[in-house]
A and B are shown apart, each in its own frame.
Chain A
């Protein structure tokens, strides 16, 4: 499964949810969905905005981990 390490990057950059949502031009609700790994997919434009706001690479935000039971 793909894990979103948004909370880790937010902590490193010391930025809050509301501020990041404003910088990324998405709603706090959607950002929360992303942060809590509830999202089904992410647009490139959103990933681009996140990397720009957090000054990082996509690999810093997205991490692949093996599922133990093998389903998505």
Chain B
């Protein structure tokens, strides 16, 4: 089964976001301080390293999320109602939770409202992924049961 136009556009946007996110990894030490001016991010070595480390963790989790989403989009070509997609949705939730902890920790290092907002938004995404995982799991069970209706 071919992907629809919207699915293809989504896949292309995911690829573009992945490339942009990967490139962002190399520019974190330069871009993050610029984003947080005029108030500087933690100046001391260890706190600063922790702060930037949180961003690295966040971006790496974000890249992993994009890879998982691309796999899910590709599964539409065949049968998307498979246990692998249930596991992927669960993984999305876990990765989003890791980002929540990373941004939450970064907030406590810098006390910037932006990070608090990001934490809350990411928490909602994590909860959304877990709920969707539960719904998808039931859908897979229904599908498997219906497959055995002759």
Contacts and interface: CB of A to CB of B under 8 A. Distances in A.
A40 interface: yes
B6 interface: no
Interface of B: 145-146, 148-150
Interface of A: 26, 30-31, 33-34, 38-43, 46
Contacts, number: 22
B21 to A, nearest CB: 44
Contacts of B148: 33, 38-41
Given A40-B146, A40-B148, A40-B149, 13 more contacts: A26-B150, A30-B150, A33-B150, A34-B150, A39-B148, A39-B149, A40-B145, A41-B148, A41-B149, A41-B150, A43-B149, A43-B150, A46-B150
Which 7 pairs of residues, A with B, have the shortest CB-CB distance? A40-B148, A41-B149, A34-B150, A39-B150, A30-B150, A39-B148, A40-B145
A40 B145 CA distance: 7
